């Protein structure tokens, strides 16, 4: 098999699920409060992946408007049966357990069928030998008086057409006793039904365990070598490994697709890009799967992506709790994207913001902004309490550019005044200079830069550890994009440069 890069899908791509149909693989990942939600990636060689669409493209499919931070689209599972693709997911702290379906995985997907009696997260979908669909899920309650209660791994038969529950809920107590048993997936192989779960939490204690039974409904026998995968207590460059899904290749090899993080710094404590999608090889020994450690093999070289902001936005752009189209201004300027500010900022639950995933450890984004009588610029977001931004505000014959770094309970601000007219703004994540131990500990440094009138202004250099999986309060990752605070703000010349050096 050709060497497969790791991560498979860099940047904010957690909780992956995979299915192979013929010679083609499809992966979906979590998106939480962002729309469009649940990207669908396709590959025929496991090396090159193309985002072909998103499952959730219409607000009514997910109803995220009132979903709190850290809620929303959690842990989708993708499966295929009788010519139909299914994605089952929990809209946590919101709509609940929903099954979407489509004939073409690129979409469109339907509005989804609600399985209202399932209280839990991370649902898996499979069918027994008689064709009855059953959902296996983690019994973590995310709404109501029992919020936070965990009832272990559970399972129930369902009618996918109506969302009706067809059986009593079955309790499947498996694993090694680690906290938060979650991410269950059920597979059939050689007459055995295997139940794979994650446990230990999605942080450094994350792991994967396996059990099996002759009956898909159990009882299940735990594997003799659990956990079959974990990075806890090791110095491996990929940590938090867990939440896996298995897939068999056409030549009979098996792979696990899973999440992990890439911590940096002298003590490897901060992961700037959040949880990403990785893979590892799996062997079957005496009827049990054994997984190799997850190796780090990022794609080499530098990547440059230039986007014509005058063209329609592709499916890689995201907005917060609403669609990117909903924040675009009716004012059209050739070669530019214009956003209409609403008098709110990045701390709003639904800011006027459209962004893309940061995909590399070292990365920069540049854009030219025209503000006239308006205010807006570039921002990098983890959630509404954790973001850095550099924004320009038109004030007659001058423009004021302000850099702002916001973390819970703290805000740093720096400003400069430049001549009126277009301003180039840049957000750059770079390795810190090794001048002191503290600078060596962090993940990176984020520079907030403005250029106008032939002069470059580095307004701030901010420690990047606050924008990391270990520090921010959400489960997402860095999303870098365009923000409008007030008025019609026009953006031209998006340029992204990235590398994993």
- Give the residue numbers annotated as catalytic, written as ranges: 15, 182
- Report how far residue 501's alpha carbon sits from residue 226's, in angstroms, rounded to the nearest whole number: 35
User: Among candidates 467, 460, 350, which has minimal Cα distance to 408?
Assistant: 467
Q: What are phi and psi of 273, to 5 degrees?
A: -95, 0
Distance of CA 196 to the CA centre of its chain: 21
Strand order in the sheet with 24-28: 17-21, 24-28, 37-43, 50-56
Closest among 261, 263, 253, 262 to 292, alpha carbons compared:
253
C-alpha count within 13 angstroms, C-beta hemisphere, residue 14: 27
Strands 375-383 and 362-370: unpaired
Strands (E), 59-172: 72-81, 84-92, 96-102, 113-114, 121-127, 133-140, 150-158, 170-172
Terminal Cα distance for the chain, rounded: 26
269-298: buried (b, 16+ CB within 10 Å) or exposed (e) per residue? bbbbbbbbbbbbbbeeeeebbbbeebeebb
459 within 8 A of 449, measured Cβ to Cβ: yes
Residues constituting the chain: 501
């Amino acid at each position: 098999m050709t060497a497969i890069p790791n991560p498979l899908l860099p940047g904010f791509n957690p909780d992956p699920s995979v299915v192979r149909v013929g010679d083609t693989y499809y992966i979906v990942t979590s998106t939480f409060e962002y729309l469009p939600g649940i990207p669908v990636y396709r590959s025929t060689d496991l090396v090159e992946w193309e985002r072909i669409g998103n499952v959730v493209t219409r607000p009514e499919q997910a109803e995220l408007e009132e979903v709190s931070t850290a809620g929303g689209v959690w842990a989708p599972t993708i499966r295929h049966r009788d010519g139909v693709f299914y994605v089952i997911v929990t809209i946590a702290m919101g709509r609940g357990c929903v099954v979407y379906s489509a004939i073409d995985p690129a979409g469109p997907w339907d509005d989804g069928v609600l399985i209202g009696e399932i209280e839990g997260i991370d649902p898996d979908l499979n069918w027994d030998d008689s064709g009855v669909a059953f959902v296996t899920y983690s019994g973590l309650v995310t709404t109501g008086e029992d919020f936070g209660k965990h009832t272990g791994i559970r399972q129930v038969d369902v009618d996918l057409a109506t969302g009706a529950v067809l059986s009593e809920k079955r309790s499947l107590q498996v694993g090694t006793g680690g906290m938060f048993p979650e991410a269950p997936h059920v597979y059939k192989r050689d007459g055995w039904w295997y139940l794979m779960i994650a446990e230990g939490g999605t942080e450094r204690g994350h792991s994967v365990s396996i059990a099996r039974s002759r009956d898909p409904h159990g009882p299940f026998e735990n594997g003799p070598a659990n956990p079959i995968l974990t990075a806890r207590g090791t110095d491996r460059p990929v940590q938090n490994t867990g939440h896996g899904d298995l897939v068999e290749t056409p030549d009979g090899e098996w792979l696990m697709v899973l999440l992990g993080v890439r911590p940096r710094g002298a003590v490897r404590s901060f992961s700037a890009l959040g949880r990403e999608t990785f893979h590892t090889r799996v062997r079957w020994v005496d009827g049990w799967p054994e997984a190799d450690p997850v190796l780090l093999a990022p794609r080499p070289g530098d990547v440059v992506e230039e986007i014509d902001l005058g063209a329609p936005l592709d499916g890689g752009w995201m907005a917060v709790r609403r669609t990117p189209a909903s924040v675009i201004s009716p004012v059209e300027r050739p070669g530019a994207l214009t956003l209409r500010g609403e008098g709110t900022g990045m701390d709003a639950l639904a800011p006027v913001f459209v962004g893309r995933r940061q995909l590399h450890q070292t990365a920069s984004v540049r854009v030219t902004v025209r503000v006239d009588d308006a205010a807006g610029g570039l921002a990098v977001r983890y959630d509404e309490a954790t973001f850095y931004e550099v924004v320009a505000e038109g004030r007659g014959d001058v423009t004021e550019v302000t850099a702002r770094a916001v973390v819970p309970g703290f805000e740093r601000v720096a400003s400069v005044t430049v001549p009126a007219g277009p301003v180039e703004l840049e957000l750059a994540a770079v390795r810190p200079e090794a001048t002191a131990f503290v600078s060596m500990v962090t993940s990176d440094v984020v520079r907030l830069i403005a250029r106008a009138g032939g002069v470059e202004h580095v307004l701030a250099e901010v420690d990047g550890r606050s924008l990391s999986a270990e520090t921010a309060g959400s489960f997402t990752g860095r999303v870098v994009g365009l923000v409008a605070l007030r008025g019609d703000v026009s953006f031209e010349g998006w340029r992204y440069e990235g590398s994993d050096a």
